[in-house]
Chain A
Amino acid sequence: MKKNFLVKLFALVMVMILAVNFAGIKVFAINDYGQYIFDDAGMLTQDEFDSLNDYARQISEYYECGVHILTTSDETVDEYTIQQYSEDNYLRYIDFGWGEDKDGFMLVMSTYDRSYWLLAYGPWGNYALTDYGKDEMSNQFLDNFRNDDWYGGFNDYLSYANYVLDCAQNGQPVDVYYDNVETDMGPEAYVIAAFIGIIAAAVTCSAYKKQMRTAVTATKAEEYVEVNEIDMRIRKDKFKFMNRSESRISTDKDSNRGGTTVNSRGFSGKGGKY
């Protein structure tokens, strides 16, 4: 009886352990437990952490792309090692990324030498956050970080992540072409239009004015040529030499630097100091 009880207890424990383990794997795989921000350097207060983590979770779930922040005070992490550190951590831990492809963005901050690295991973992540998008995203948060405004900087990072994911979902990732068109055609449009308007006015007025002066000197006499009696006696065409020049055909990537540059590990990224 006692032996039976022990066997049953052991079996129950084993089932519970297996159940918990199995459940744990499932939870980690879809990041259901809800942590997107890992503030190892302690840069945020609890309230700030909660607020930002909630925001990151909403974005990640809505767009199915993990949006993460990782801070570290590790002295081995500096501007030369931060890329490796970021990529290793992103791949090593199941917390980062969304779905089987681990699509996601991650902002890594090193308080040791005030360096940062911004990465994207996975087909969806790399599509949404282009090289140009990373430049723009960095511009959003760097000014805050330079003033030690960590919460503001992280909040700007998350807001911009929301924006780039929204653009990408609509088929137009934030990139050189789309962004230039949207932001560069401001008042300049009227300057260009005025210039074209002046040319159009000059051409039109010149044509009208020309109608007013029809008494003009003749310089040719084509009406009086005896066309059938033109005698072309010499027609010589002699080849002299040839010049050959080559120019490399610029691809879309060359011409507008659009898109995302992905390394052999599947990451795209950019970094620097703040």
Chain B
Amino acid sequence: MATQITNYQCPSCTGPLRFDGEAGKLVCDYCGSQYETVEIENYYAKKDRLAREAFEEERKKPQAENEWDMSYLNSDWGKDADKMKAYDCPSCGAQLICDETTSATSCPYCGNPSIVPGQFAGAFRPDYVIPFKLSKDHAVKALENYYKGKKFLPDAFTKNNKIQEIQGVYVPFWLFDGEVDADIDFEASSTRVYTQGDYRITETSYYDVRRRGTVPFAKIPVDASTKMPDTHMDAVEPFDYTELKPFSMAYLPGFLAERYDQSVQRSSTRADQRAENTAVDIMKADVTGYSGYSVQNKKIKVNRGKVSYALMPVYMLNTKYNGEDYLFAMNGQTGKFIGNLPVDKGKYWKTFFGITVAVTAVLGSAMMFLL
């Protein structure tokens, strides 16, 4: 008799693994992969070890030139450490922390109800926290509103779909301060058109344009969790930093907080890229009075500054449809709701052909009879 095990996900496709009694192996019904139980246990143990090593790496790494300044980060929780509890999700590997009064019943990321108590150790103490302003009820209403007006949403998704769990999670973010020195050469052109007798004269003047400047950035957020899809955390931005508070345990009761498992170095490449792109945009926006321009040369340097560690309030909503996981997130401060929905192909093509036929009939007739 086969026993269902839902705690593990397939390393190949992230589908749930089932223990096949006859084969004596963990089997993935989605991609057909088979694993020895030892193999999977080792895989999850390695994942856990890597997360812990990332923390150690951050702590021990000497400060190199133009590296992020992590000197502000500290792992001294003081007396608070005694009041913290930790949980591990054996399914997705999330490491969750909360205060002693809060009990975690399921994993906010994968919905696994079998999370296990872990050891609270080896974590930076957050510098900041943005407290939750909105309740779970807001998240439920936001989800209902989110479904509205979605023409291609399958009917079955809303009718049969039940949100399995709504969890308020403090998601770990690195906040990067720094500045970008941008030096860009452009070739710009301006065009003047005028008439002279029977002729239209077009004069195009070309210019060498140079813009150099420094663009400072403050607290570019990059989520420090490997479990949390980057797309979801980017999309719930922005947070209102005017409500950023120094971290206090007082904000934790009732909510889970994930411990970061993505190093500053790995996260910083995303912050660098965003800062660079924006600095280039600002330089381009300064090239005015021309009809067009093109970039000839570009020198961009990111001067890395201070890194802070903050917990941001996010409601996570998890559901399944046709065997696939759908994860939604709501900014617990601003209420911004995001998530990807399935597309009903039948509705899509009906709409496509409907519009095509309607436009063809109306426009074609109008052109035939009016012109």
Q: Do A and B come from the same complex?
A: yes
Q: Residues of A contacting B291 with CB < 8 Å?
A: none
Contacts of A231-267 to chain B: CB distance below 8 A: 231-249
Closest residue on chain B to residue A221 by CB atoms:
B274
Minimal beta-carbon separation of A230 from chain B (angstroms): 5
With A185-B371, A221-B217 as known contacts, state yes or no: A193 contacts B364, CB within 8 Å: yes
Minimal beta-carbon separation of B301 from chain A (angstroms): 13
Q: Residues of B contacting A185 with CB < 8 Å?
A: 367-368, 371
Within the complex, which residue of A200, A209, A225, A242 is in contact with B204, where a contact is CB–CB below 8 Å?
A242
Q: Residues of A contacting B343 with CB < 8 Å?
A: 209, 212
B254 contacts partner chain A, Cβ-Cβ < 8 Å: no
Q: Given the complex of chains A and B, what is the CA–CA distance between A249 and B198 in angstroms?
A: 6
Q: Residues of B contacting A241 with CB < 8 Å?
A: 205-206
**Is B356 touching A201 in the complex (CB atoms < 8 A)?**
yes
Q: Residues of A contacting B337 with CB < 8 Å?
A: 214
With A205-B351, A235-B286, A249-B200 as known contacts, state yes or no: A212 contacts B207, CB within 8 Å: no
Q: Residues of B contacting A200 with CB < 8 Å?
A: 355-356, 359
With A214-B339, A232-B286 as known contacts, state yes or no: A225 contacts B215, CB within 8 Å: yes
Query: Which of B229, B271, B348, B360 has the largest count of A CB atoms less than 10 A from its CB?
Result: B360
Q: Residues of B contacting A204 with CB < 8 Å?
A: 351, 355
Q: Given the complex of chains A and B, what is the CA–CA distance between A192 and B291 in angstroms?
A: 33
Within the complex, which residue of B198, B340, B355 is in contact with A201, where a contact is CB–CB below 8 Å?
B355
A6 contacts partner chain B, Cβ-Cβ < 8 Å: no
Minimal beta-carbon separation of A218 from chain B (angstroms): 4
With A189-B364, A194-B364, A201-B355 as known contacts, state yes or no: A208 contacts B151, CB within 8 Å: yes
B49 contacts partner chain A, Cβ-Cβ < 8 Å: no
Closest residue on chain B to residue A239 by CB atoms:
B207
Closest residue on chain A to residue B196 by CB atoms:
A246
Minimal beta-carbon separation of B354 from chain A (angstroms): 8
With A215-B229, A238-B207, A242-B205 as known contacts, state yes or no: A196 contacts B363, CB within 8 Å: yes
Contacts of B20-47 to chain A: CB distance below 8 A: none
Within the complex, which residue of A189, A208, A212, A225 is in contact with B368, where a contact is CB–CB below 8 Å?
A189
Q: Residues of A contacting B229 with CB < 8 Å?
A: 215
Within the complex, which residue of A224, A225, A238, A244 is in contact with B201, where a contact is CB–CB below 8 Å?
A244
With A230-B282, A249-B198 as known contacts, state yes or no: A238 contacts B364, CB within 8 Å: no
Within the complex, which residue of B195, B281, B340, B371 is in contact with A215, where a contact is CB–CB below 8 Å?
B340
B72 contacts partner chain A, Cβ-Cβ < 8 Å: no
Within the complex, which residue of B150, B206, B234, B278 is in contact with A225, where a contact is CB–CB below 8 Å?
B278
**Is A229 touching B216 in the complex (CB atoms < 8 A)?**
yes
Query: Which of A181, A200, A224 has the largest count of B CB atoms less than 10 A from its CB?
Result: A224
Contacts of B342-371 to chain A: CB distance below 8 A: 342-343, 348, 351-364, 367-368, 371
B275 contacts partner chain A, Cβ-Cβ < 8 Å: yes
Q: Mark A113-138, 1 if CB is under 8 A from B, else 0.
A: 00000000000000000000000000
A46 contacts partner chain B, Cβ-Cβ < 8 Å: no
**Is A211 touching B150 in the complex (CB atoms < 8 A)?**
yes
A213 contacts partner chain B, Cβ-Cβ < 8 Å: yes
**Is B231 touching A215 in the complex (CB atoms < 8 A)?**
yes
**Is B217 touching A226 in the complex (CB atoms < 8 A)?**
yes
Q: Mark B273-295, 1 if CB is under 8 A from A, else 0.
A: 11101100110001000000000
B52 contacts partner chain A, Cβ-Cβ < 8 Å: no
Q: Residues of B contacting A47 with CB < 8 Å?
A: none
Q: Given the complex of chains A and B, what is the CA–CA distance between A221 and B217 in angstroms?
A: 8
Q: Given the complex of chains A and B, what is the CA–CA distance between A249 and B196 in angstroms?
A: 10
**Is B367 touching A192 in the complex (CB atoms < 8 A)?**
yes
Chain A to chain B: the 4 pairs with minimum beta-carbon distance, closest first? A197-B359, A193-B364, A218-B234, A234-B212
Can you name 19 A-B residue pairings with CB atoms under 8 Å? Answer: A185-B371, A192-B363, A193-B359, A193-B367, A201-B354, A204-B351, A208-B351, A214-B235, A214-B339, A214-B340, A216-B231, A221-B220, A232-B286, A233-B213, A236-B208, A240-B207, A248-B198, A249-B195, A249-B199
Chain A residues proximal to chain B, CB less than 8 Å: 181, 185-186, 189-190, 192-194, 196-198, 200-202, 204-205, 208-209, 211-226, 229-249
